[in-house]
Amino acid sequence: MPCFIILVFLLIRCFIFTSSSCQSDRNQDHRPRVSCVGQGLTAVPQGIHTDTQVLVLTGNQFTSLSWSMYSGFTELHELDLSHNNISTLQPPGPVLEKLSVLRLSGNMLTGLGGLVFRCAPSLMEIYLDRNQIGSLQNDTFSDLPRLEVINLSQNKLPVLPPRLLDLVSSSSLKTFDLENNSLSLMPDGFFSSKPELPYVYLTHNPWLCSCAVGYLHSFLNDQEHNIYMHEGLYNIISAADSVLCSGPPHLLRRPIIELEESDFCPPDPPHPSGDQYTKPFCILSDLEHPRVVPTN
């Protein structure tokens, strides 16, 4: 009898743990999942079943994303490498045909080149929040026809490549999260190729309210119903009026959507009377010392 109990125990143990330190179960979608969390790993442990669809490797010591490390997992649907020490994505390797969700939150990425996700052509969700990303290329998210979610929140982006969204070939992009970056300017026409993005997050950026904020101002007015911010861990709230100016000083913390164009782009001050100002702006009255008269 004790032998039988030990045997049952060993069988259960074998079922629950594929290798001593990784746990096997199924996620909420009933996909086979293996989790190896917080073990100082720098490579995928031996012995993980190749039918695994969800591989969770959070809180380890991976320093780069090596596509070839996962090529044996032909069914891989989700790869979670959050909270590692990843600073580089290795150049394209074998294609991970079924990879749909890639989690790289809380790593050490500082920039992303062009086409860096090319090895995962089925990607639908990319989580890059809480890195140190300061630069992207126009084609960073190109060639991903099923892409729905891009999370870039809590990074250090000072500018966006103007054609970033143009070159997202997916027509199903739904979520674009830029909360908490260092953006001061939205490039003109940035959203024009994706005019009705359902979830756009733009709060906690130092937007500069000069004439160049005109595009963002009209985008917010037009897309008010699609602008959100995060509140707490799980809630989102409608937040077009939480996209605020960080300058110039007289507009500090004013909601951009509530401004009039004349607030951020005042018309030229009235011309003082006096005949020199009504003449053409460049008068070459003296060829040796051309006199340039300001237009305003």
Ligand X SMILES: *[C@@H]1O[C@H](CO)[C@@H](O)[C@H](O)[C@H]1NC(C)=O
Choices 18-26, 42-50, 161-169, 206-214; region in contact with ligand X by CB under 6 A:
161-169
Choices 173-181, 211-219, 264-272, 275-283; region in contact with ligand X by CB under 6 A:
173-181
Q: Cα angle vertex 133, ends 41, 190, to 5°?
A: 140
Measure the CA–CA gap between 209 and 217, rounded to whole angstroms.
Answer: 9
Q: Is 204 in the site for ligand X (CB under 6 A)?
A: yes
The residue within the footprint of ligand X, chosen from 87, 110, 210, 246 (CB under 6 A), is 87
Choices 31-39, 130-138, 219-227, 281-289; region in contact with ligand X by CB under 6 A:
130-138
Q: Total residues at the site for ligand X (CB under 6 A)?
A: 20
Q: Is 60 in the site for ligand X (CB under 6 A)?
A: no
Q: Least Å distance between CB 18 and ligand X?
A: 25
Q: Is 23 in the site for ligand X (CB under 6 A)?
A: no
Residue 47 vs 189, nearer CB to ligand X? 189
Residue 37 vs 265, nearer CB to ligand X? 37
Q: Is 138 in the site for ligand X (CB under 6 A)?
A: yes
The residue within the footprint of ligand X, chosen from 100, 175, 193, 210 (CB under 6 A), is 175
Residue 31 vs 163, nearer CB to ligand X? 163
By CB neighbour count within 10 A (0-12 exposed, 13-18 middle, 19+ buried), where does 143 fall?
middle
Choices 94-102, 159-167, 218-226, 238-246; region in contact with ligand X by CB under 6 A:
159-167
Residue 76 vs 152, nearer CB to ligand X? 152
Q: Least Å distance between CB 222 and ligand X?
A: 21
Q: Are 223 and 192 in contact (CB under 8 A)?
A: no
The residue within the footprint of ligand X, chosen from 154, 170, 184, 226 (CB under 6 A), is 154
Q: Is 83 in the site for ligand X (CB under 6 A)?
A: no
Which positions from 215 through 254 interact with ligand X, judged by CB under 6 A? 230
Three-class secondary structure assignment of the chain: CHHHHHHHHHHHHHHHECCCCCEEEECCCCCEEEECCCCCCCCCCCCCCCCCCEEECCCCCCCEECHHHHCCCCCCCEEECCCCCCCEECCCCCCCCCCCEEECCCCCCCECCCCCCCCCCCCCEEECCCCCCCECCCCCCCCCCCCCEEECCCCCCCCCCCCCCCCCCCCCCCEEECCCCCCCCCCCCCCCCCCCCCEEECCCCCEECCHHHHHHHHHHHHCHHHEEEEECCCEEEECHHHCEEEECHHHCCCEHHHCCHHHHCCCCCCCCCCHHHCCCCEECCCCCCCEECCCC
The residue within the footprint of ligand X, chosen from 107, 142, 153, 205 (CB under 6 A), is 153
The residue within the footprint of ligand X, chosen from 18, 107, 142, 180 (CB under 6 A), is 180
State the residues that interact with ligand X by CB under 6 A.
61, 63, 85, 87, 105, 129-130, 137-138, 151, 153-154, 161-163, 175, 177, 180, 204, 230
